[in-house]
Amino acid sequence: MKKILIIEDDVAIAELERDYLEASNFSVDICADGESGLQKALQNEYNLIVLDVMLPKMNGFEVLKKFREVKETPVLLVTARVTDIDKMNGFNAGADDYIVKPFSPLELTLRVEAHIKRFEKVSSLNLKNENKDIIEIDSLKINVYGRQVFKNDEEIFLANKEFELLLFLIENKGVVFTKEQILDRVWGEGAFVENSTVTVHINRLREKLEDSSEKPQLILTVWGKGYKFS
């Protein structure tokens, strides 16, 4: 049985989320503040974490940053509003997706199932490629199995989806993909994610990997069409 951790200080919302997830055969734990939630997340193995942004003791962004120093478990951020700055903060900290209040419990369940399935698929592919896990491109070295990226021998931290997006583009070098195609291939067909999410992740990859994000040489924009890895 898949295990989910809900970190949410609103008891009514947390219990409603739990009831729907348990009805879909998930095992669910609940924590009501950031500090205890982070401790529980680090001490146990979960398949996904549902993390509210506004929490007592430690907010969701802080929890996520600390958690990502240790684990790569998918994290779904829950917030009352999402601006571009919110998205940047969340994705920079390592979020896999956002869901905005108010939302239907069914939508939450579908997103949880989709992200777990995607994460398990990628993990399985990495294990199969254990002996073919090093990709070197100019100053970049990508350890596929270890999910690590180095630039000039210095490790660069990438969030889950940033790494998966980079690997997808590299494996399809020279092929132009639209935002919609990238969403389907990286986030999964039918994922509840906006097209702008792709742009945010592309920009973050450029800032981390390019010598100049203003004049990218690796991840190129093909105007009117999409993106490709050169």
List C-alpha distances in Å: 172 to 37, 139, 145, 200, 230. Answer: 39, 19, 18, 20, 10
**Whole-model pTM?**
0.61
Sheet hosting strand 97-100, strand order edge to edge: 27-31, 3-7, 48-52, 75-79, 97-100
198 exposure class (CB count in 10 Å sphere: 0-12, 13-18, 19+): buried
Q: What is the pLDDT of residue 148?
A: 83
Q: What is the pLDDT of residue 143?
A: 82
Report the DSSP pairing between strands 48-52 and 3-7.
parallel
Report DSSP state, residue 132. G
Q: Report yes or no: 5 and 44 within 8 Å, Cβ to Cβ.
A: yes
Q: What is the pLDDT of residue 161?
A: 85
151 exposure class (CB count in 10 Å sphere: 0-12, 13-18, 19+): middle
Q: Report yes or no: 48 and 71 within 8 Å, Cβ to Cβ.
A: no
Q: Among the residues of the chain, which ranges form H helices? A: 11-23, 34-43, 60-68, 84-93, 105-128, 160-171, 179-182, 196-209
Q: Is the dihedral of CA 150, 156, 157, 159 positive or negative?
A: negative
Output the CA angle 147-153-158, nearest 5 degrees.
35
Residue 55 burial (CB count, 10 A): 24
Domain 3-123, second-level architecture: 3-Layer(aba) Sandwich (3.40)
Task: Name the token pair of 116.
Answer: 């777990």
Domains of the chain, residue spans: 3-123, 130-229
Which among 81, 92, 40, 90 has a CA at the least distance from the CA of 207? 92
Q: Report yes or no: 26 and 1 within 8 Å, Cβ to Cβ.
A: yes
Fold of domain 130-229: Arc Repressor Mutant, subunit A (1.10.10)
pLDDT per residue, tens digit, the chain (230 aa), is: 889 999 999 999 999 999 989 998 999 999 999 999 999 999 999 999 999 988 999 998 899 988 988 888 889 888 877 666 777 777 777 788 888 888 888 888 888 888 888 777 666 555 444 445 778 888 888 887 778 888 888 888 888 888 888 888 888 888 888 888 888 888 776 666 677 788 888 988 999 988 887 888 888 888 888 888 88
Residues paired with 98 in a beta bridge: 77
Q: What is the pLDDT of residue 131?
A: 46
